[in-house]
Structure 1
Protein backbone atom coordinates (compact mmCIF):
# COMPACT_ATOMS: atom_id res chain seq x y z
CA UNK A 1 0.00 0.00 0.00
CA UNK A 2 1.39 3.44 -0.89
CA UNK A 3 0.28 7.02 -1.59
CA UNK A 4 -1.14 5.94 -4.96
CA UNK A 5 -3.92 4.27 -2.91
CA UNK A 6 -4.93 7.59 -1.32
CA UNK A 7 -8.20 8.94 -2.75
CA UNK A 8 -8.33 12.71 -3.17
CA UNK A 9 -12.00 13.58 -3.61
CA UNK A 10 -11.32 16.67 -5.72
CA UNK A 11 -9.18 14.60 -8.12
CA UNK A 12 -11.20 11.36 -8.19
CA UNK A 13 -12.71 10.38 -11.52
CA UNK A 14 -15.76 8.77 -9.93
CA UNK A 15 -18.83 8.32 -12.10
CA UNK A 16 -21.89 10.05 -10.65
CA UNK A 17 -24.95 7.93 -9.86
CA UNK A 18 -28.24 9.83 -10.16
CA UNK A 19 -31.44 8.48 -8.58
CA UNK A 20 -34.67 9.47 -6.84
CA UNK A 21 -36.04 8.62 -3.40
CA UNK A 22 -38.22 5.50 -3.42
CA UNK A 23 -41.88 6.52 -3.84
CA UNK A 24 -42.98 4.86 -0.56
CA UNK A 25 -40.45 6.99 1.40
CA UNK A 26 -41.31 10.35 -0.23
CA UNK A 27 -43.15 12.87 1.93
CA UNK A 28 -42.71 16.02 -0.15
CA UNK A 29 -41.36 16.59 -3.66
CA UNK A 30 -39.47 14.15 -5.88
CA UNK A 31 -35.86 15.14 -5.27
CA UNK A 32 -33.15 14.04 -7.66
CA UNK A 33 -30.11 12.83 -5.76
CA UNK A 34 -26.55 12.38 -6.99
CA UNK A 35 -23.89 10.19 -5.41
CA UNK A 36 -20.15 10.07 -6.05
CA UNK A 37 -19.02 7.05 -4.03
CA UNK A 38 -15.27 7.56 -4.05
CA UNK A 39 -14.39 4.59 -1.86
CA UNK A 40 -15.79 1.22 -0.81
CA UNK A 41 -13.64 -1.15 1.22
CA UNK A 42 -13.30 -4.82 0.21
CA UNK A 43 -15.72 -5.96 2.95
CA UNK A 44 -18.37 -3.55 1.60
CA UNK A 45 -18.95 -2.19 5.11
CA UNK A 46 -17.14 1.16 4.78
CA UNK A 47 -17.99 3.81 2.16
CA UNK A 48 -17.09 7.43 1.56
CA UNK A 49 -17.90 10.06 -1.02
CA UNK A 50 -20.10 13.03 -1.85
CA UNK A 51 -23.91 13.16 -1.95
CA UNK A 52 -26.17 15.91 -3.26
CA UNK A 53 -29.96 16.29 -3.21
CA UNK A 54 -32.52 18.70 -4.59
CA UNK A 55 -35.28 19.97 -2.24
CA UNK A 56 -37.79 17.45 -0.91
CA UNK A 57 -38.55 15.39 2.19
CA UNK A 58 -38.45 11.63 2.79
CA UNK A 59 -38.42 9.02 5.56
CA UNK A 60 -35.04 7.70 6.71
CA UNK A 61 -34.09 4.66 8.76
CA UNK A 62 -30.38 4.13 9.41
CA UNK A 63 -28.86 0.65 9.74
CA UNK A 64 -25.45 2.29 9.21
CA UNK A 65 -23.40 4.81 11.19
CA UNK A 66 -22.78 7.93 9.09
CA UNK A 67 -20.46 10.89 9.54
CA UNK A 68 -21.47 13.91 7.44
CA UNK A 69 -19.97 17.29 6.63
CA UNK A 70 -22.37 19.70 4.92
CA UNK A 71 -20.61 21.52 2.09
CA UNK A 72 -23.55 23.58 0.79
CA UNK A 73 -27.28 24.09 1.24
CA UNK A 74 -29.76 23.71 4.07
CA UNK A 75 -31.41 20.52 5.34
CA UNK A 76 -33.47 19.59 8.37
CA UNK A 77 -33.12 16.22 10.06
CA UNK A 78 -36.13 15.23 12.20
CA UNK A 79 -36.46 12.32 14.60
CA UNK A 80 -39.56 10.16 14.98
CA UNK A 81 -40.83 12.39 17.85
CA UNK A 82 -40.57 15.62 15.81
CA UNK A 83 -37.30 16.92 17.28
CA UNK A 84 -35.21 18.57 14.58
CA UNK A 85 -31.78 19.95 13.77
CA UNK A 86 -31.03 22.40 10.96
CA UNK A 87 -27.93 21.51 8.96
CA UNK A 88 -25.95 24.06 6.95
CA UNK A 89 -22.53 24.43 5.31
CA UNK A 90 -19.73 23.73 7.78
CA UNK A 91 -21.79 21.45 10.04
CA UNK A 92 -20.16 18.13 10.96
CA UNK A 93 -22.21 15.39 12.65
CA UNK A 94 -22.78 11.66 13.09
CA UNK A 95 -26.08 9.86 12.58
CA UNK A 96 -25.92 6.64 14.63
CA UNK A 97 -27.32 3.34 13.37
CA UNK A 98 -30.91 2.98 14.61
CA UNK A 99 -31.93 6.58 13.90
CA UNK A 100 -35.24 6.96 12.08
CA UNK A 101 -37.20 10.03 11.07
CA UNK A 102 -37.19 12.43 8.12
CA UNK A 103 -34.57 14.20 6.03
CA UNK A 104 -35.81 17.43 4.46
CA UNK A 105 -33.71 19.32 1.93
CA UNK A 106 -34.79 22.97 2.07
CA UNK A 107 -32.05 24.24 -0.30
CA UNK A 108 -30.07 21.88 -2.54
CA UNK A 109 -27.66 20.20 -0.13
CA UNK A 110 -24.23 18.71 -0.78
CA UNK A 111 -22.33 16.69 1.82
CA UNK A 112 -19.30 14.50 2.34
CA UNK A 113 -20.30 11.20 3.88
CA UNK A 114 -18.40 8.42 5.62
CA UNK A 115 -20.51 5.32 6.29
CA UNK A 116 -19.84 2.22 8.36
CA UNK A 117 -22.45 -0.52 7.83
CA UNK A 118 -22.02 -3.33 10.40
CA UNK A 119 -22.61 -6.82 9.08
CA UNK A 120 -25.92 -8.33 10.13
CA UNK A 121 -25.62 -10.74 13.05
CA UNK A 122 -25.48 -14.35 11.94
CA UNK A 123 -28.11 -16.49 13.65
Structure 2
Protein backbone atom coordinates (compact mmCIF):
# COMPACT_ATOMS: atom_id res chain seq x y z
CA UNK A 1 0.00 0.00 0.00
CA UNK A 2 1.30 3.45 -0.92
CA UNK A 3 1.39 6.07 1.82
CA UNK A 4 -0.64 9.25 1.18
CA UNK A 5 1.22 12.23 -0.27
CA UNK A 6 1.72 15.54 1.50
CA UNK A 7 -0.71 18.23 0.33
CA UNK A 8 0.24 21.90 -0.01
CA UNK A 9 -2.56 24.32 0.84
CA UNK A 10 -1.30 26.87 -1.68
CA UNK A 11 -0.16 25.30 -4.93
CA UNK A 12 3.44 26.05 -5.91
CA UNK A 13 3.87 28.86 -8.44
CA UNK A 14 4.87 26.33 -11.11
CA UNK A 15 1.65 24.32 -10.76
CA UNK A 16 -1.42 25.26 -12.78
CA UNK A 17 -3.90 27.19 -10.64
CA UNK A 18 -7.05 25.32 -9.71
CA UNK A 19 -10.33 27.12 -10.15
CA UNK A 20 -11.97 28.16 -6.88
CA UNK A 21 -15.57 27.49 -5.96
CA UNK A 22 -17.33 30.87 -6.00
CA UNK A 23 -20.27 31.83 -3.83
CA UNK A 24 -21.83 34.67 -1.84
CA UNK A 25 -23.53 34.68 1.58
CA UNK A 26 -27.16 33.63 1.60
CA UNK A 27 -29.45 36.67 1.23
CA UNK A 28 -31.34 35.82 4.43
CA UNK A 29 -28.06 35.96 6.42
CA UNK A 30 -26.48 38.99 4.74
CA UNK A 31 -25.99 42.04 7.00
CA UNK A 32 -23.81 44.28 4.79
CA UNK A 33 -22.16 44.18 1.38
CA UNK A 34 -22.49 41.27 -1.03
CA UNK A 35 -19.02 39.75 -0.85
CA UNK A 36 -17.72 37.25 -3.36
CA UNK A 37 -16.15 34.27 -1.59
CA UNK A 38 -13.60 31.94 -3.21
CA UNK A 39 -12.75 28.50 -1.84
CA UNK A 40 -9.88 26.31 -3.00
CA UNK A 41 -10.34 22.95 -1.25
CA UNK A 42 -6.94 21.29 -1.40
CA UNK A 43 -7.64 18.20 0.70
CA UNK A 44 -10.65 16.10 1.68
CA UNK A 45 -10.14 13.04 3.88
CA UNK A 46 -11.45 9.79 2.35
CA UNK A 47 -13.73 9.26 5.38
CA UNK A 48 -15.27 12.72 4.81
CA UNK A 49 -14.59 14.21 8.26
CA UNK A 50 -11.75 16.61 7.40
CA UNK A 51 -11.17 19.22 4.71
CA UNK A 52 -8.50 21.87 4.24
CA UNK A 53 -7.71 24.63 1.81
CA UNK A 54 -7.56 28.35 1.17
CA UNK A 55 -10.45 30.82 1.30
CA UNK A 56 -10.64 34.44 0.13
CA UNK A 57 -13.42 36.99 0.55
CA UNK A 58 -14.33 40.61 -0.20
CA UNK A 59 -15.56 43.08 2.44
CA UNK A 60 -18.98 42.30 3.96
CA UNK A 61 -20.81 40.81 6.93
CA UNK A 62 -23.22 37.89 7.35
CA UNK A 63 -24.65 35.76 10.14
CA UNK A 64 -23.12 32.32 10.71
CA UNK A 65 -24.30 29.25 12.61
CA UNK A 66 -21.71 26.50 13.01
CA UNK A 67 -23.34 23.08 13.54
CA UNK A 68 -22.44 21.16 16.69
CA UNK A 69 -19.54 18.82 15.93
CA UNK A 70 -18.09 20.99 13.13
CA UNK A 71 -14.98 22.99 14.11
CA UNK A 72 -12.82 25.23 11.93
CA UNK A 73 -9.19 26.16 12.53
CA UNK A 74 -7.94 29.04 10.40
CA UNK A 75 -4.88 31.23 9.84
CA UNK A 76 -5.11 34.62 8.13
CA UNK A 77 -2.62 35.27 5.35
CA UNK A 78 -4.05 38.67 4.40
CA UNK A 79 -6.71 41.06 5.63
CA UNK A 80 -8.80 41.63 8.74
CA UNK A 81 -11.88 39.75 9.98
CA UNK A 82 -14.11 40.05 13.02
CA UNK A 83 -16.11 37.20 14.50
CA UNK A 84 -19.09 38.70 16.32
CA UNK A 85 -20.40 36.53 19.17
CA UNK A 86 -24.18 36.33 18.96
CA UNK A 87 -24.58 34.94 22.48
CA UNK A 88 -21.96 36.83 24.53
CA UNK A 89 -21.81 40.05 22.51
CA UNK A 90 -18.66 41.76 21.31
CA UNK A 91 -16.27 40.49 18.68
CA UNK A 92 -12.81 39.00 18.27
CA UNK A 93 -10.65 40.56 15.57
CA UNK A 94 -8.03 38.68 13.57
CA UNK A 95 -5.34 40.21 11.35
CA UNK A 96 -2.85 38.73 8.89
CA UNK A 97 -0.48 36.47 10.80
CA UNK A 98 -3.10 35.45 13.38
CA UNK A 99 -5.32 32.40 13.58
CA UNK A 100 -8.16 31.01 15.60
CA UNK A 101 -10.80 28.34 16.06
CA UNK A 102 -14.52 28.63 15.34
CA UNK A 103 -16.03 25.92 17.56
CA UNK A 104 -19.06 23.84 16.68
CA UNK A 105 -22.23 25.48 17.99
CA UNK A 106 -20.92 29.05 17.48
CA UNK A 107 -23.63 31.53 16.50
CA UNK A 108 -22.80 35.06 15.43
CA UNK A 109 -21.61 37.04 12.44
CA UNK A 110 -18.55 36.89 10.21
CA UNK A 111 -17.31 40.33 9.14
CA UNK A 112 -14.59 40.90 6.56
CA UNK A 113 -13.18 44.36 7.36
CA UNK A 114 -10.38 44.22 4.76
CA UNK A 115 -10.26 41.66 1.91
CA UNK A 116 -9.07 38.40 3.41
CA UNK A 117 -7.26 35.22 2.43
CA UNK A 118 -6.92 32.40 4.95
CA UNK A 119 -5.95 28.77 5.25
CA UNK A 120 -8.63 26.62 6.87
CA UNK A 121 -9.09 23.15 8.28
CA UNK A 122 -12.61 21.91 9.02
CA UNK A 123 -13.13 18.87 11.23
CA UNK A 124 -16.53 17.21 11.50
CA UNK A 125 -17.04 14.89 14.45
CA UNK A 126 -19.86 12.35 14.73
CA UNK A 127 -22.86 13.60 16.71
TM over 0.5: yes
**Deviation digits for residues 25-59 of structure 1 (CA, Å, limit 9, x no counterpart):** 10101000000000111122100000011000000
Unpaired runs of 5+ in structure 1?
none
8 A contact 1:14–1:38 mirrored in 2 = no
Q: Partners in 2 of 1:45 and 1:52 — Cα distance?
A: 22
RMSD over aligned Cα atoms: 1.5
Deviating beyond 2 angstroms after TM superposition, the runs of 4 or more aligned structure 1 residues are 9-15
8 A contact 2:37–2:58 mirrored in 1 = yes
The structure that is helix-richer by fraction is: 1
Unpaired runs of 5+ in structure 2?
none
TM-score, with normalisation over the residues of structure 1? 0.89
TM-score, with normalisation over the residues of structure 2? 0.87
Aligned positions of 1:38-57 closer than 5 A: 38-57=42-61
Aligned to 1:77: 83
